[in-house]
Amino acid sequence: MLVLVSYDVSFEEPDGKRRLRKIAKVCENFGQRVQYSVFECVVEPAQWVQLRHRLLEAYDEERDSLRFYFLGKNWQRRVEQHGSGTAYDPETDALIL
């Protein structure tokens, strides 16, 4: 299934940048960055449990915003992309990571 992960990290404190790097690293283990703060992750349910757990550990619930959108197995018909950025298929690209 495809899970879209989007996050806003506060930069008001020095720790913000550290958390941003950590969250990006966690996401990149499971998916691909499609925008600065948006990742598309193709995961099996067990992988999602692990990814979700890591993200919730990494973010600051007082300062950051973390949102998950579940686009299911037939996610291709639910996504439309325009402009710059690499067009890619996360189903296949995920194998390369």
**Annotated binding-site residue numbers:** 8
Among 73, 15, 27, 18, CA closest to 7: 27
Interface residue with its own copies, options 17, 25, 57, 81 (CB under 8 A)? 81
Q: Map tokens 């990494």 to a residue.
A: 58
Is 73 among the residues that bind its own copies (CB under 8 A)? no
C-alpha dihedral, 46 to 49 to 52 to 57, nearest 10°:
-120
Is 93 among the residues that bind its own copies (CB under 8 A)? no
Binding footprint of its own copies, residue count (CB under 8 A) = 34
Interface residue with its own copies, options 23, 26, 34, 42 (CB under 8 A)? 34
Is 70 among the residues that bind its own copies (CB under 8 A)? yes
Separation of first and last alpha carbons in the chain? 17
